[in-house]
Structure 1
């Protein structure tokens, strides 16, 4: 069963005002935007198990830009964790936490190499071993969408990651449980879920063994408006809407 809560964070909750904006946005668009390929990489080390976490002051999921072809895009306001509440109150956001990652480029042989390239560009480090962990599709109501592969990886011997580009303002090695408990409300749903999943393991070897058994079917969250409050539902779960938005 997919993770819905972790500690104080409810990854699925969406407030009604944001849900209404999402429904209106999809109606205005007429059809969902085509997802672009992208990759993000969770760098791992031990012992104990640690992940490399970045904080950006203003970065859309997987490095999306605010312009395309010279035309401005509406900012993505209802990102997958933007409406998570803490004890019934909205938590102030000073930055977004996540992993090295970005859009697939024409020169990338495949999306796996997109992740390798992004690690080098953002941290100066080289990936030694990499395995696919999950594949997420951005909800249909977003104006910028991604078909995003999340990988787990180790670094080549002798490399230590560091912030190389101007955009990330902070980077640290941190335990996956501590990371999601402390910063889960400032992450996208897929990144927070990934950390919650990784918190079940103690070693890099266990993570890579688990990666070999993962189902890599695309995960497309959809918004369900039934019940007391809107929630994001994943494929295979009870109440998963057949359409982009229920009751749209």
Structure 2
């Protein structure tokens, strides 16, 4: 794992992968659709806190980095479910899907709700279109959560079995980032915001995390700036974008106006170094020293790699409210 003086995380193998892509030795993988949720909880003063988890240092990718609950879409997320909030067609338009892709849009929204329950124990669903489950603790809930994680139970069957309605109106689409083309495991990820439902509590239900915290975005960003909290660009970018809001409701109200144009990194070999940038996010531009094998790639016609489509554990952050582990 590598990081800059701040907490920006990037894999040490990236220079070699960038070179391979520039030289035509690497065919970009097709990104899988995924969703992640920034759960917000009002703190009374200083703006809302956001729920974050720290990936285990032993993880092959982004070990020790802070992130949000989330994961890839399950093909079964397209199955019909009881639904409240914007229609599937409205979600398709908001998320950037074309006509006739309502099922794909539903799958992204379902993945956001499902993964939040799987990894944080929080469920954005209720017995009716205007209610939310008040408590997801207990052995029966845990058994269902474990079955979802193991893919022994589809989310549609889970909701149907419990007579629950998915509350898509509790989500606000916030951002969209696509993993760089030189990464072997790629994701096209939609970021959502949601308020923690009254009565529910987050818990560390993820096997991939060794710690979860509630922390104000400004405090988490300050930890990143000091190099204490490792994060990837999408994480710190979305954190900073939340600093302006005084409550979870304010953030949710602003979600409808957010730009969901996908952010995809660009890499090129220039002047003896690899320049890695994310269009529209100059903060993350990185200059990586390139060895002779990387510099040689710059002489090839396709040395520039434009997008084809639109650590050890660190010290714990200053937490707001009670930690969830």
TM-score (norm 2): 0.55
Partner of 2:201: 160
Partner of 2:53: 54
**137-146 or 39-48: bigger deviation:** 39-48
Give the unaligned 5+ runs of structure 1: 1-7, 61-74, 80-93
Cα deviation 1:188-239 (Å, max 9, x = unaligned)? 2101111011122222222122211111111111124336854433346899
- The answer to which structure has the higher strand fraction is 1
1:1-248 alignment, distance < 5 Å: 9=6, 20-26=15-21, 27=23, 29-47=25-43, 48-58=47-57, 76=61, 95-109=64-78, 110-127=107-124, 129-183=170-224, 186-226=230-270, 230-235=274-279, 246=304
Partner of 1:70: none
How many positions carry a matched residue from both structures? 206
Counterpart CA distance in 2 for 1:14 and 1:172 is 23
SS in structure 1 of the partner of residue 237 of structure 2: helix
SS in structure 2 of the partner of residue 170 of structure 1: strand
Structure 1 contact 59–96 (Cα < 8 Å) conserved: no
Structure 1 contact 222–245 (Cα < 8 Å) conserved: no
Cα deviation 1:33-55 (Å, max 9, x = unaligned)? 00000111000011331000111
Counterpart CA distance in 2 for 1:104 and 1:170 is 24
Root-mean-square deviation (CA, aligned residues, Å) is 3.2
Give the unaligned 5+ runs of structure 2: 79-106, 125-166, 286-300, 307-325
Structure 1 contact 14–230 (Cα < 8 Å) conserved: no
Counterpart CA distance in 2 for 1:52 and 1:101 is 12
TM-score (norm 1): 0.71
Kindly state the Cα deviation for residue 181 of structure 1 after the two structures are TM-superposed.
2.1
SS in structure 1 of the partner of residue 75 of structure 2: coil
